[in-house]
């Protein structure tokens, strides 16, 4: 798959589009593809001996003079500080987290930035693999990773994270949002929001978890949709290809139909948070479904 990817450098309005890999991890392939048979999904996503497929935790940097915006933050690296010795080490083993390669801070450094240089952080939802890097340990205390940034999240998702259902209790941790509240840096949006930051709009999805926000970045000419867990990998552009983690599968299929129709008809780039084999793709209609037209490294 990687050999056919085209390299394309995007600029949308004032923003240079910069993928920020924060580290590889693994999730059970059956859980990632739900009712899709393994004989189908393993062709594009081979599994290890424990049936885990490789996943990326990929954030997105919108780099511009005076306003550097980060969308999502990956797993983070302070597992023991956040979850304690026992849970922290179990956490790393269970999810096969590889902390020997790229990290959030290393990837930002590659673009000449430090945490202090980030002005805004947008959190799609507070699951650990999206918001784990939002906070960090400093002098024995958890604090916002980006000391000069305003954080943006959905009010409804914070409520969900604060009172998780039984299925999501292992994905939402106070360590990833409470320090933001304590520091007074969290701004809460309430539903679909146009231009909450210049060129950025939020679309709400409830199929995977309550009040996840997808982020559309546009200048009227070029548009990119940060998919979060609505479409976690390029393999998931097919409407029925859902995760076992999704709370409301039928709702999610309806949401995918809506947003992917817009993407296909208007030539939007889809940005994938969890695909280890590409950063983004253009899609096209395929009968009553969708397929990948071209994959890219950005």
pLDDT one-digit tens code per residue, 151-163: 999 999 999 999 9
Strands 69-71 vs 120-122: parallel, antiparallel or unpaired: parallel
Give the structural domain span for 39: 2-297
pLDDT at residue 181, rounded to an integer: 98
pLDDT at residue 82, rounded to an integer: 85
Give this prediction's pTM.
0.95
pLDDT digits (tens, 9 = 90+) for 121-142: 999 999 999 999 999 999 999 9
What's the length of the chain? Answer: 298
Looking up tokens 């949006």 gives 189
Dist. CA 1–CA 123, nearest whole Å: 29
Dist. CA 75–CA 135, nearest whole Å: 10
pLDDT band at 2 (very low <50, low <70, confident <90, very high): very low
pLDDT digits (tens, 9 = 90+) for 61-92: 999 999 999 999 999 887 778 877 756 777 77
pLDDT digits (tens, 9 = 90+) for 95-115: 888 777 899 999 999 999 999
Number of structural domains (the chain) is: 1
| CATH number (domain holding residue 117) | 3.60.15.10
pLDDT digits (tens, 9 = 90+) for 234-277: 999 999 999 999 999 999 999 999 999 999 999 999 999 999 99
pLDDT at residue 1, rounded to an integer: 47
pLDDT at residue 87, rounded to an integer: 65
């Amino acid at each position: 798959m990687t050999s056919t990817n085209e390299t394309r450098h995007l600029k949308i309005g004032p923003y240079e589009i910069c993928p920020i890999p924060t580290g590889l991890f693994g999730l059970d392939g059956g859980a990632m593809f739900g009712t899709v048979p393994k004989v189908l999904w393993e062709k594009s996503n081979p599994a290890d001996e424990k049936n885990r497929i490789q996943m990326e935790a990929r954030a997105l940097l919108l780099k511009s003079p005076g306003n550097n915006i980060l969308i999502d933050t990956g797993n983070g690296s302070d597992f023991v500080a956040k979850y304690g010795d026992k849970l922290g080490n179990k956490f790393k083993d269970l999810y096969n987290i590889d902390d020997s390669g790229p990290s959030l801070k290393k990837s930002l450094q590659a673009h000449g930035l430090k945490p202090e240089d980030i002005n805004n952080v947008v959190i799609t939802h507070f699951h650990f693999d999206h918001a784990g890097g939002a906070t960090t340990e400093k002098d024995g205390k958890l604090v916002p990773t980006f000391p000069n940034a305003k954080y943006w999240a959905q009010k409804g998702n914070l409520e969900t994270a604060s009172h998780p259902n039984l299925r999501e209790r292992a994905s939402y941790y106070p360590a990833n949002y409470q320090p933001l509240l304590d520091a007074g840096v969290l701004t809460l949006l309430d539903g679909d929001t146009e231009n909450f930051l210049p060129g950025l709009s939020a679309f709400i999805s409830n199929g995977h978890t309550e009040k996840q926000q997808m982020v559309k970045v546009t200048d009227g000419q070029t548009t990119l949709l940060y998919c979060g867990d609505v479409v976690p990998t390029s393999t998931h552009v097919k409407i029925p290809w859902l995760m076992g983690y999704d709370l409301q599968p039928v709702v999610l299929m309806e949401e995918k139909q809506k947003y992917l129709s817009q993407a296909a008809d208007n030539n939007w780039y889809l940005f994938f948070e969890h695909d280890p084999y590409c950063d983004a793709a253009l899609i096209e209609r395929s009968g009553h479904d969708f397929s990948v037209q071209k994959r890219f490294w950005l």
